Amino acid sequence: MMHEQGAVLVVDDNEMNRDLLSRRLQRQGHQIVTADNGKDALDKMRSHTFDLVLLDIMMPEMNGYEVLEYIKQDPDLRHIPVIMISALDDIDSVVRCIELGAEDYLFKPFNPTILKARIGACLEKKRLRDQEQAYLKRLEDEQEKSEKLLLNILPWAIAEQLKQGAQTIADNFAEVTVLFADLVNFTELASHLPPTDLVKLLNEIFSTFDQLVEAHGLEKIKTIGDAYMAVGGLPTPRPDHAEAVANMALDMQRAIAELSHSPLYPFRDRPLQIRIGINTGPVGAGVIGTKKFSYDLWGDTVNIASRMEALCLPGYIQVAPNTYERLHKRYQFERRGCIDVKGKGDIETYFLLEAL
């Protein structure tokens, strides 16, 4: 397509005027479609793509003013430039068309050289606008990708703070519930799987856990190898954080039992098992790093939750006393007894069995 060529819709109820204008524009290399009334013009605009409309004013049923007004009110059509061509040479008609959104106004009989120049200017402006819109759409798509990536790394509320220019993000939370989970003997099982199969299996497992986190309104913090960490009660506090994490843990057990039958898991004689540890208490939380940053937690509550998982029996959910006190009236537990927690001594622990 040459620089000044485009798809043009010629709208005029006078057949002689319509044909004369169409032949002249075709000789200039434009693709021409004609309409003999306003309704036909609008129908063709909905089914074809046009770069320009040449619109007569004086037409029966639906005049050019009405067609122009409809075009400029339709979000799908309003970007198409319209040149009004009319025998009406009064200034009021010109002003009205411009106010309705017309790109230009030519009087009949028109000068062919002026018509060609104004059509070329309109087409060039439309091409520039189309390029601008395409560029803005690419920017919008890239921004959407960036925001999705950011939300894959950080909680929504934290991502919003970063977008608003926060340099340091760190908070203390008086009470949250932290969960750690680890696949039992997975390192040994993984040694018998090709790397691509291992990644596919872990992706299926952790994607299932991610869905559970979202369903229970929790926050995933991170994965490390075959370990998974989530928390309830931050960055937006909620009173039922312990219950939400307990329900998540029970659902994780059921999910692991189902994933043992996944086509991606080949060891039918050794079902997948998971250890889960839970603790409730105060934590610090914030964004660590400036380039490959992450949102992380710290404090005794986190350390004890991690030890609850590490010292748990395969297939069980082990909770610390703080969590047990929050939940024992609504869930069934089995007392395990005291275990030696590094740096904390003996701690009474419990196995979470089911909701009452």
Say yes or no: 30 and 163 in one domain.
no
Q: What angle do CA 52, 98, 105 make, to 5 degrees?
A: 55
Task: Between 243 and 106, name the one with better pLDDT.
Answer: 243
Spatial separation of the C-alpha atoms in residues 300 and 127, rounded to whole Å: 62
Say yes or no: 14 and 138 in one domain.
yes
**Residue 1 located in a structural domain:** no
Say yes or no: 236 and 107 in one domain.
no
Name residue 96's beta-bridge partners: none
Task: Name the nearest CA neighbour of 56 among 24, 92, 21.
Answer: 21
The pLDDT score that the predictor gives to residue 216 is: 96
Spatial separation of the C-alpha atoms in residues 107 and 86, rounded to whole Å: 5
The pLDDT score that the predictor gives to residue 165 is: 62
* Residue 206 CB-density burial (10 A; 0-12 exposed, 13-18 middle, 19+ buried): middle
Residue 280 — pLDDT band, cuts 50, 70, 90?
Answer: very high
**Residue 90 located in a structural domain:** yes
Q: What angle do CA 289, 292, 296 make, to 5 degrees?
A: 55
**Residue 149 located in a structural domain:** no
- Is pLDDT above 90 for 168? no
Say yes or no: 314 and 288 in one domain.
yes
Contact between residue 274 and residue 180 where contact means Cβ atoms under 8 Å apart: no
pLDDT in tens, 17-48: 889 889 989 988 899 999 999 999 999 999 99
Given 144, 162, 197, which residue is the final one in a domain?
A: 144
Say yes or no: 180 and 128 in one domain.
no
Query: What b-and-e string marks burial along 224-242, b requiring 16 or more CB atoms within 10 Å of the CB?
Result: eebbbbbbbbbbeeeeebb
Q: How many other C-beta atoms can be found within 10 angstroms of the C-beta atom of residue 77? A: 16
Say yes or no: 185 and 288 in one domain.
yes
Q: Please report, for the domain that includes residue 95, its CATH number.
A: 3.40.50.2300
Cα-based distances in Å from 205 to 27, 200, 328:
65, 9, 29
Instruction: Name the residue with tokens 């920017």.
Output: 139
The DSSP result for 112-148, as a single string, is HHHHHHHHHHHHHHHHHHHHHHHHHHHHHHHHHHHHH
The pLDDT score that the predictor gives to residue 274 is: 95
**Residue 227 located in a structural domain:** yes
Spatial separation of the C-alpha atoms in residues 113 and 119, rounded to whole Å: 10
Task: Among 67-76, 87-96, 233-242, 243-252, name the one with the lowest average pLDDT.
Answer: 87-96
Q: What share of the chain is helix, strand, coil (3-state, %, to 5)?
A: 45, 25, 30
The two structure tokens encoding residue 23: 């032949």
The pLDDT score that the predictor gives to residue 2 is: 44
Q: What's the domain range around 35?
A: 7-144
pLDDT in tens, 326-354: 999 999 999 998 988 888 889 999 999 99
The whole-model pTM stands at: 0.63
Say yes or no: 61 and 16 in one domain.
yes
| Structural Rg of the chain based on CA atoms | 34
The pLDDT score that the predictor gives to residue 1 is: 39
Given 144, 166, 187, which residue is the final one in a domain?
A: 144
Q: Which whole number is the average pLDDT over 273-281?
A: 96
Pairing between strand 317-319 and 274-288?
parallel
What torsion, rounded to 10 degrees, do the Cα atoms 17, 20, 23, 25 define?
A: -70
**Residue 85 located in a structural domain:** yes
**Residue 2 located in a structural domain:** no
Residue percentage of the chain with pLDDT more than 70: 92
Our count of domains for the chain comes to: 2
- Is pLDDT above 70 for 150? no
**Residue 87 located in a structural domain:** yes
Is residue 91 within a helix (H) or strand (E), and if so which, with residue range? Answer: helix 91-100
The DSSP result for 92-119, as a single string, is HHHHHHHHHT-SEEEESSPPHHHHHHHH
Given 109, 144, 179, which residue is the final one in a domain?
A: 144
Say yes or no: 114 and 169 in one domain.
no
